[in-house]
Structure 1
Amino acid sequence: MILDYVGVKDINGSLIVLDDVKNPSFEEVVDIRLDDGTTRQGRIVQIDGSRAVIQVFQGTRGISLTNTRTRLLGHPMEMPLSPEILGRIFNGAGVPIDGYGNIYPVKRANVNGTPINPVSRVYPKNYINTGISTIDTLMTLIRGQKLPIFS
C-alpha cells in the first residue's frame, strides 16, 4: 500500500525529516511533490522508529514544511537493464540523456549491491619494503592494495 505524507517535520541542507512514517525501509526511493507540481526524488538514509530522514537528490530549495507531498515507493533505487543500454549516456540517476528515448528494461537491478565478505578475500602476502621503518611498521604496504601517497 502506497501512502502519501503531507508536510515535512524539518529541512536541513539536502535532508528532510518525516514523522509518523509507516513501515519505512532503508535506501527506499521516495517521490517528493512540491507546491508548484514539480517532482523530486530522494531516498531514505536513516530510520529512527517512525521517523525517516530522506536525502533529496535535486536539493531542498522550494520545499514547503506544510504542503510538500511525499510518497514512499517501496523499493530501493534500481537501474533498468537490457541490451539497449549499451553505448547509451545516462545521468547519475540512470536516466538516458542522449536523446535516443527511453529504455525498455528486460529486468531491473538494485544499484546498492551487496557487501563483500572480508573472510572470502585473498590473504595479502606481497609485502612492499619501503626502507622507512615508521611506514613499514605502522602502515604496512601490500602489493595490490590501494596505497596512500605521503607528501
Structure 2
Amino acid sequence: MIKQYLKLSKIEGPLIVLKGVAGAGYEEMMDIRLDSGELRRAKVIRIEGDTIIAQVFEGTSGISTDNATVTFKGSPLEIHLSKNILGRTFSGLGEPIDGGEPILSEKTYNINGSPINPFARQYPRDYLETGISSIDALTTLIRGQKLPIFSSNGLSHNQLAAQIVRQAKLKNSDEKFGIVFAGLGIKHDDYNFFKSTFEESGASQRLVSFINLADAPIVERISTPRAALTAAEYLAFEEDMHILVVMT
C-alpha cells in the first residue's frame, strides 16, 4: 500500500526525519515531491518506533519541512531488466545515462538479492581467458571465482580493467558470454576513457555498464555494485549466459 505524508519533521544534512509513520520498511524507497514539481528519491536507512530516517539521493538543498510531499513506494530499490540491457549504460540506480530509452520489462528486480547457497553451485573447472599473461598463467581466473586486484592512486588500474573487458573471452567455447562493468566514484574523464575504449574495441555490444560518477550522490555508490550484480544474475540465470563482472 502506497502511503503519503505532507510534512517532514526534521532535515539534517542529506537526511530527513519523519514521525508518526506506520508500516515503513528498512531500505524502502521514497519519492519526495517539492512544491516546484521537482522529484527526488530517498531510502529509509533507520527505523525507531514510528520515526524513520531516510537519506535523499540528490541531497536536501531546497527542501524545507513544509514544502515536500513524501510518498512511500512499499518496496526497496528495483530495476527493470531484459536482454536489451546489453550495449547500454546506466547509473548506479539503474537509470539510463546513455541517452537511450528506458528498459521496458514486465518484471522488476530487487537489487538486494538473496545469497546463493555455495553447495548448490557447480564445481568450477573451466577458466576464462583475460589475454593478460600474468593473470592467465599465474592467477588463472576460473569460472565462478573472484579475483581481487589491488591498486593505489597513480597506478593504471583503469587501463587494466578496460583491457580485461576488451580481451576477456571463453576459451574454446561457443556458449553465450557477456560482461557487466561497474564503475564506482569515477571521474568524468575516466568515464569517457572507458566509454571510448569499449566502443572502439567492439566490446560494448556484449557489455552493460553501471556508472557512479564522482559528483553523483555518495549513497548511490552502495546501490551501484548491487545493481550490477543483479543484472549479472539476470543475464546468467534467465538468459543462460556466462557473465564476467568487472568492478573498479
> How far did residue 64 of structure 1 move?
1.1
- Name the SS of the counterpart of 1:90 in structure 2: strand
Q: Matched residues in 2 for 1:57 and 1:25: separation?
A: 18
Aligned partner letter, 1:75: S
- Which residue of structure 2 lines up, in the alignment, with residue 71 of structure 1? 71
Q: Matched residues in 2 for 1:115 and 1:62: separation?
A: 39
Q: Matched residues in 2 for 1:89 and 1:146: separation?
A: 24
Q: Matched residues in 2 for 1:146 and 1:47: separation?
A: 35
Say if 1:23 and 1:103 are closer, same or farther in 2 by CA, change over 3 A: same
Q: Give the TM-score of the pair, scaled to structure 2.
A: 0.46
Q: Is the 8 A contact 1:33 1:69 kept in 2?
A: yes
Larger-Rg structure: 1
Q: 1:1-150 maps to which residues of 2 (within 5 A)?
A: 1-114=1-114
The runs of 5 or more residues in structure 1 that have no matched partner are 121-143
> How far did residue 3 of structure 1 move?
2.1
The runs of 5 or more residues in structure 2 that have no matched partner are 121-145, 152-248
Say if 1:102 and 1:148 are closer, same or farther in 2 by CA, change over 3 A: closer
Q: Matched residues in 1 for 2:42 and 2:51: separation?
A: 15
Q: CA RMSD in A?
A: 2.5
- Name the SS of the counterpart of 1:102 in structure 2: coil
Q: Matched residues in 1 for 2:62 and 2:97: separation?
A: 25
Q: Give the TM-score of the pair, scaled to structure 1.
A: 0.74
More helix by share: 2
> How far did residue 28 of structure 1 move?
0.5
Aligned partner letter, 1:114: S
Q: Matched residues in 1 for 2:84 and 2:149: separation?
A: 38
Alpha-carbon displacement from aligned partner over 1:16-36 (angstroms, at most 9, x marks no partner) = 000101200001010001121
> How far did residue 40 of structure 1 move?
0.2
- Name the SS of the counterpart of 2:89 in structure 1: coil
